[in-house]
Structure 1
Amino acid sequence: MNQPFIIPTITTNENGISVFENIDFSAQQRGGLFLTEQIGSKNFRIRKSEVGYATDFHLAGDATFIIIQKGSLKIELQNGEYKIFNIGDCFIAKDNLPENIEFDAKIHGHKARVVGNESLQAIHIKLNL
């Protein structure tokens, strides 16, 4: 039996514009639990950000799997579309541009902001995607 894990992802479309997409990491049943295939990673970091922390538009660079442990994080795209990730939520940020396109903060990327009245704590895992 195949069981999907659907992970919200920030990626780039064919025009280099950051978009939300859901990626399906299928899992197989193994002895009463469901596991995906191994996903290679480079390192992990623990992040803390205070209430009101915000970034300008930027790109993820390396693909990063982010797990929210405390607080809420709003990710907003250039077109105004956004998602708010809360405790227990996870997502992958992997928007990046081809080498021949120069980053323009008015066109490319996403921005992040801690929302609510609680600081953010999250785990960042750099992936080999």
Structure 2
Amino acid sequence: MTAPTPFTVTELFTDHDGRARFRDHTLSLDEGTPVSRLTRLAASGGCQWRESPAGFASSFHCTGEPQWLIVLQGQMEIGLQDGSTRVFGPGQVFYSNDTLPEGAVFDDRVHGHRSRLLGEQPLRTLFVRTREPGF
């Protein structure tokens, strides 16, 4: 029997300087059975479905509550203040955790991320709120 291949997931987080950054985490598949390997169960606080039309683009903003974002349809680009971007397509996921630092006043030149839809297909996503991401 081969060892399980862990999931690699991206986290969008607020670094010590208040700026949003990306980092990758590995989720271990230590539970379940050899034919259905699972991560440990993480608590969730509800979910929301979203659809954004072609042309969707946001200004810089912070995540209000930590949440998993799962792309169901379309392609979503996340851009950071430093100019870096990542694109997420159907079946891809990231943990959105770039909340405004406690006591900070939002500055759109420093804080948060922007997002936009790439292409003409509407963007459909599922948000699952949790403060316990499982990594």
TM superposition score normalised by structure 1: 0.93
Please state if 1:14 is matched with 2:16: yes
Aligned match of 2:33: 31
Task: State the percentage of identical aligned residues.
Answer: 29
TM-align CA RMSD: 1.4
Q: Which of 95, 98, 122 is the matching residue for 1:95?
A: 98
- Residue type matched to 1:55 in 2? S
Structure-to-structure mapping, 1:1-129, within 5 angstroms: 1=3, 3-32=5-34, 33-129=36-132
More strand by share: 1
Q: Is the CA contact 2:63–2:100 (under 8 Å) kept in the aligned structure 1?
A: no
Distance in 1 (alpha carbons) for counterparts of 2:45 and 2:54: 29
CA distance in 2, matches of 1:2, 1:17: 34
* In 2, Cα distance between equivalents of 1:51 and 1:82: 19
Q: Deviations over 1:27-52 (max 9, x none)?
A: 21522221111111100011100011
What amino acid maps onto 1:24 in structure 2? T
Q: Which amino acid aligns with 2:27?
A: F
* CA displacement, residues 72-117 of structure 1 (integer Å, 9 cap, x when unaligned): 1110000110011111111111001332222101111000001111
Give 3-state SS (helix, strand or coil) of 1:27's partner. coil
Q: Residue 94 of structure 2 aligns to a residue in which SS?
A: strand
Alignment check: 8 A CA contact 2:31 2:39 kept: no
